A = this chain, B = another copy of it.
């Protein structure tokens, strides 16, 4: 078994390997330290030798873990049929609530912390992976909805990228940074729903046709 392919998808991995990556993920969430090769081996009840055979080195394991988690988050498509203002608003709010609840989750915070730490050590790959599967994936997911809204005469903007970034800013604001910096921010269902509703209304004020 060579040290694993360049990209990791669900079926690139054996069940045992998924166990290992889930172990690494759980250790990561429990606190940035603790994620040592010995720790992962113990948690997954496997030998360090196997770890190195499968993942090459520590960075390989980390990369695989991040990709593995990214692969878990599958997008929910939004059908652009029968788009009126109300369904567009619902789609935007659903997207926003999902975005905020993911961002506020333990796993997202831990993963972003790890990737950010590595970005400060000329190991740019983890950050790129997180960006690609986080922020950029979100853009690819929402922009078709925005463009559908424009085609239906409900929204007005030049570039969907700019419109998306505005919506992103209105929804996320300073929340992610504060969470990453360790602030214990209470974000229940109701707060999230209220914040997203406000953001959506503001977005309509700015970009409504």
Contact = CB atoms under 8 A, between A and B. Distances in A.
A165 B169 contact: no
Nearest to A118: B182
A112 B181 contact: yes
Tell me the dominant secondary structure on chain A's binding face: helix
Contacts of A165: 173-174
Specify which of A120, A171, A183, A202 lies most central, judged by the most chain B CB atoms within 10 Å of its CB.
A120
Contacts of A124: 182
A53 interface: no
Given A31-B122, A117-B116, A202-B206, A174 B168 contact: yes
A32 B117 contact: yes
Given A166-B170, A166-B202, A170-B169, A120 B31 contact: yes
Contact of A170 (B128, B170, B176): B170
Interface string A84-100: 00000000000000000
Contact of A33 (B121, B168, B174): B121
A56 B33 CA distance: 22
A166 B170 CA distance: 6
B205 A127 contact: no
Interface in A151-209: 165-166, 168-174, 176-178, 180-183, 202, 205-206
A128 B182 contact: yes
A119 B177 CA distance: 11
Contacts of A113: 116-117, 119-120
9 contacts: A31-B121, A32-B117, A110-B120, A115-B181, A116-B117, A127-B180, A128-B182, A166-B170, A169-B170
Interface of A: 31-33, 110, 112-122, 124, 127-128, 130-131, 135, 165-166, 168-174, 176-178, 180-183, 202, 205-206
